[in-house]
Structure 1
Amino acid sequence: MTPGSNLPLSAARVAVDVTAPVRLDVSGLLLAADGKVRSDDDFVFYNQPSAPGVTHSAAAGGGDTVTVDTAAVPEGIDKIVVTASLDTPGATFAGTEPTGTVRDADNGSVLASFTPPRLGTETALVLVEIYRRGGGWKVRAVGQGYADGLAGIATDFGVSVEEPAAPAAAPQAPPAPPAPAAGWGPPTGAPAPVAPPPAAAPAAPAPAPSAPAPGTGKINLDKGRVSLQKNQTVSLVKGGRPMLSSVRMGLGWEPAFRGKSIDLDASVIAYGPDRKKVDNCFFGKLMILGGAIQHSGDNLTGEGAGDDEAITVHLGGLPPEVTGLIFVVNSFSGQKFSEVAKAYCRLLDAQSGEELVRFDLTHAEPRTGVMMAKLVRQYSGEWEMTALGEFVDARTVRGMTKPAAQAL
């Protein structure tokens, strides 16, 4: 398709896959006849993944998908616009070509494809729109760019965007935070826990629908998938109830240089409240703690789509003495992480396969080990996941035991 062109839709359920060489924040907005959302509930993105007839999900081959069930879209909605903004602050679309592929959501057949031409200083854009016409539905290629990011799009279409609150003058020092779970405090030299803001001056929400900046507090799973940055924490709580079911930590990576294999090993180390190792699970020991933790096996190349290795944890089956888990990746062959691209970890509901939390490693160091994330059991019973992204010199899980303990 070319900008401004349109096609009738031959399917009642269509999926718009948005892909690019870089990470994007993709969203869908349900617009009434006046070109505005009816409320903020009509803004669909990864942390608010559904509205009537419209859902957001991660695409199987990478990127994001906005699925529109035209039969379920409310009568008062005239169109659904699919937008994309860059995940990296300050980046523009110059040299980046996002593509929107419209498929039949039931059989996967491609109905249309559109790549906006001549992008430059734009930081966000409306890619395509699905709209009513003459009793049917059509798709139009748009490609309209914005220089003020997703906040500009949101404001244009009536989504409430609040400015960050000004800092209070000379605030009193907040009370000391409570002791962390299981008696753990930060190791020597580690940053002190960040106290919550004073009750009299709560911080206003950020304008973009991404996770809060590092250090701004914990979030939960109530609004769907959470994308973490380094040192951010998410509480595995949904609807006020801790998750005690099974979760799967998927870890993936790709070779940074074409034609080169990367042999990395993903492992998890279980610790007690005294930071003493209870056990570890890796390619040479695929099941520990009576089957409460299971490893998928070794991937020798790093090639192929999807997770390279996965570790399943039955949270409810972990013995009481296990209060912390550190997920690590090592290069036994000595290859450095500077030779690795697109390393990530993601936490999924092991039963439904739903992605709950994702952490993309945004930089690499020429070292042989990395601590990706930790799960810590709280006094109240729920588990919290924190993105780490800390590199160390260790080629085996055994070499990770001490630095991982210090990260708890």
Structure 2
Amino acid sequence: MTMPKGSNTPVPTTVLRLETTRRAGPGTPATEIAALLLTSGRIRSDADHLTRDHPAHPSGAVRHEETRREDGLATDVFTVDLTRVEDAVERIVLAATADGGTFGQVPGLGVRVTGPDGETVAHYDNTGASVETALVLGELYRRQGGWKFRAVGQGYGSGLEGLAQEYGVTARREVRRPEPVTPEPRQPATGLGRPEPQLPYVASESTAQPAKITLTKAAPAVSLAKQGATSGALRVNLNWRMRATRWTKGPARDLDLDLCALYELTDGRKGVVQALGNAFGTLHRPPYIHLDGDDRTGASADGENLTVNLDHAADFRRILVFVTIYEGATSFAGLNATVTLRPQHGAPVDFSLDECAVPSTVCALALLTNEGGDLVVRREARYLVPERGMSPQRTVDRAYGWGMNWTPGRK
């Protein structure tokens, strides 16, 4: 029998198997399952944050064993050896995040805890989820010298940011391995390319792909409203391929670019969304802009991504999307970069960055301005050269008259 939300039950202090299962298929958000080892309510480092891309804890007590998909179900399996859990660890939280929608669109989500003989010692089916994009499903916790499992079933509408605020989880960008899938009949090949990153909103019912819009020097601007992009999510992607130049400092994998956004809201508030200072932003409250994560090595196939909540388009006065070189090079020369703005509704907009011939460490990519309630995207592709002692952020601020105060930061 499934446990009611908020209830708890004793579990044996032995090796336990935690299986998290949910329905998976077209239109269902991709789900990431994580185990968090908590000391005084927080993780101590990224080593305490386990996923299928970071599967093993240094203590050997917790491990992500597999992700499998069969009969329309996706299952993540963790093993927890409670006899090996460090004394400092008080709780082991099982959490989930949704990419491409909310947990109200993830049916059949549940957790089963089994012992060494395969007997079920705890079982919880999560029901009643709606707008949450991050959920704490359950937790193992110490009690009077033993262990218990609690069915939690509480979530956050801010996704990974909610887990970050609650448990200190780093908003790192996972280099995701493809999930195993049930073989399907092969379709005729239509071209080559990477899978498109998922949007954090429900996908449009229409499967037809609108024609792509390419911004050029001759035609540098486009109205989002005229293209049908008046609501939902706008994903801004930066991708690059690096070749060696006299301004590079090492291998391409050592290049760390940061995708950022300066914003000004109609109520006068201003700020920046960037990895530096962990200013990742929020989607469902001001500034309505969120940076997915910080790709510090360039190893991620998806590059870096910003998401803008177009349901709040009327709250924006202007947004400047820009990119800085954090380390690995002293100029954008040799950086073959492509910027793509992919709205949930309407045509994708893309442009390439022209070859850089100056020692620039900051490039203004695109400027979105509110013109009579309509957001207009203008291609900037403007390389800026900071003055001696001036940061890239302050340089782009001065060029566009944002008027903010800047202090040194780190990530």
Normalising by the smaller structure, the TM-score range is 0.3 to 0.5
TM-score of the pair, normalised by structure 2: 0.41
TM-score of the pair, normalised by structure 1: 0.41
